Structure 1
Amino acid sequence: MSSRRMTAIAGSLVTASFSTVMILSVTASADDQGPGSSKGGKVVDEAPAGVKLTTTLPEQISVDNSSEKTDITATVKNEGTKESGKIQLLVVGFDGLTVNGVQGCSQIPEGDLPEGSNSGFACPIDNLAAGDSKSYAVDASFDLGKTGKICLPVQTADGKKTYWQQGPVPFGTTNPSPNAPATPLLLGTDNKPVAPGGDDLPQTGAAPREVLLGAAGAALLSAGAAGLWWSQRRPRQQD
């Protein structure tokens, strides 16, 4: 994928901020990621009539405490009544969450990554029929001493429009497990690292129990806000 084309991806991406919630901790594994969730997702540009594109991420993932490796399943769906035509799914990592690889997808060059991200892959999709979905196996690493977020934009093949964007949505833990083989992380939960020199794994910034779970809804910032990806870059005109 050329640098010119990847620059065009930037056109309509927006960032998200999320309220922290208290969620009961459960043990997770790579094979048991819980139900898929579209938490933190929002329509950005209007899709063609009859096309409704969304994504889902697992409610929970598990990070190996020794290798810091984890597996994530990213799914794109067409919930509309007409086929999507050519689109692409981006899988982008932020902060302590690094995307190492996505099956069947191409790595985004470092110079074309969105501001603040550390890694990303572009997954071209020739067509997604009405009612169909496509899942991708994401190989990732998570530094438990940091926060970590992931973002799934669904765009036109040329990157000029973003029909849907999930995230950047955080994964985090409400129950650090320093002596266990793995640490379960929950979608929509901010991971708050311990102070430098601390002996424990990071604690989360869980809200008081009085805060309703509904407070987890994403407040996506509009284009032009301070958090806009690639805010200083513009797609070049096509030759």
Structure 2
Amino acid sequence: MSSRRMTTIAGTLVTASFSAVMILPFTAAADEGPASGKGGKAVDAAPAGVKLTTTLPSQIDVDNSSQETALTASVKNEGTKDSGKIRLLVVGFDGMTVKNVQGCSPIAEKDLPEGSNSGFACAIDNLAAGKSESYDVDATFDLSKTGKICLPVQTSDGKKTFWQQGPVPFGTTNPTPNAPATPLLLGTDNKPVAPGGDALPKTGSERVMLPLGAAGAMLLTAGGAGLWWSQRRPRQTD
């Protein structure tokens, strides 16, 4: 029977592991801009000479009709020694749902971290010093809500998290519901189009309003109240 431990560090989600069974060997065009490690921090100590980090694009574009988007998630070993077996997780929260990560395996719903809606695990046999791996991510983003993404880098068994970026938001403070796509910036809480005076004009004389749902009304500040990740560990036997 597994034990369950809840931990917070500096108000953000910082550690994760999943059951051993989870250790598995038109989208909108992404105008990604420069890669960014915003919202990332080291967690558990990595082996000597290994320094693992991740990056996300500074901007993504969400198709306003389909809500589809695409981005690149990357992990890099900035150290002087090889990493050995590790895994990268790509996890969606709130209005951001990860639909596919090329070359990676979906995380079963029962093994998702608390509060997340989707996730994929990318097994990496070894990441040499100075090298990186990049993964194409397909996702949807409900523009009536906030949305976040998280990239933990763990041991292959998930018992240690060497680095974690996020959960970091994508969003805009200037919604554009009548344009073909809405650009979202990394590290920005999404501001959905509100009813009334906050509605944006169409091209021409007509005006439209998108209703703000209850979920969208409660905007979470990045790095604020903090998110929890439940940690499962196998039973220890004598």
Q: Is the TM-score greater than 0.5?
A: yes
The count of corresponding residues between Structure 1 and Structure 2 is: 206
Query: Aligned Cα RMSD in Å?
Result: 3.2
Q: Deviations over 1:38-71 (max 9, x none)?
A: 0000000000000000000000000000000000
* Other-structure match for 1:71: 70
Mapped contact 1:89–1:153 kept (Cα < 8 A): yes
**Offset, 1:227:** 3.1
* 1:234 equivalenced with 2:232 (yes/no): yes
Alignment of 1:204-215 (within 5 A): none
* Other-structure match for 1:148: 147
- Return the letter of the residue paired with 2:233: P
Q: Which runs of 5 or more structure 1 residues have no equivalent in the other structure?
A: 18-28, 206-215
Which 10-residue stretch deviates more, 168-177 or 84-93?
A: 168-177
- TM-score under structure 1 normalisation? 0.77
Secondary structure of the equivalent of 2:56?
strand
Rounded Cα–Cα distance in structure 2 between residues aligned with 1:179 and 1:108 = 35
Rounded Cα–Cα distance in structure 1 between residues aligned with 2:109 and 2:99 = 13
Alignment of 1:1-239 (within 5 A): 16=12, 30-195=29-194, 199-200=209-210, 219=223, 227-230=227-230, 233-237=231-235
Change (3 A) 1:196 1:106: farther
- The structure whose Rg is larger is 2
**Offset, 1:89:** 0.1
**Offset, 1:175:** 2.2
Rounded Cα–Cα distance in structure 1 between residues aligned with 2:8 and 2:138 = 23
**Offset, 1:11:** 8.3
Secondary structure of the equivalent of 1:121?
strand
- Return the letter of the residue paired with 1:125: I
Rounded Cα–Cα distance in structure 2 between residues aligned with 1:201 and 1:184 = 20
Rounded Cα–Cα distance in structure 2 between residues aligned with 1:144 and 1:219 = 20
- TM-score under structure 2 normalisation? 0.77
Q: Deviations over 1:117-163 (max 9, x none)?
A: 00000000000000000000000000000000000000000000000
Q: Which runs of 5 or more structure 2 residues have no equivalent in the other structure?
A: 14-27, 200-208
Rounded Cα–Cα distance in structure 2 between residues aligned with 1:44 and 1:163 = 5
Secondary structure of the equivalent of 2:170?
strand
Change (3 A) 1:220 1:78: farther
Rounded Cα–Cα distance in structure 2 between residues aligned with 1:60 and 1:156 = 29
Rounded Cα–Cα distance in structure 1 between residues aligned with 2:186 and 2:151 = 13
**Offset, 1:196:** 6.9
Change (3 A) 1:12 1:81: farther
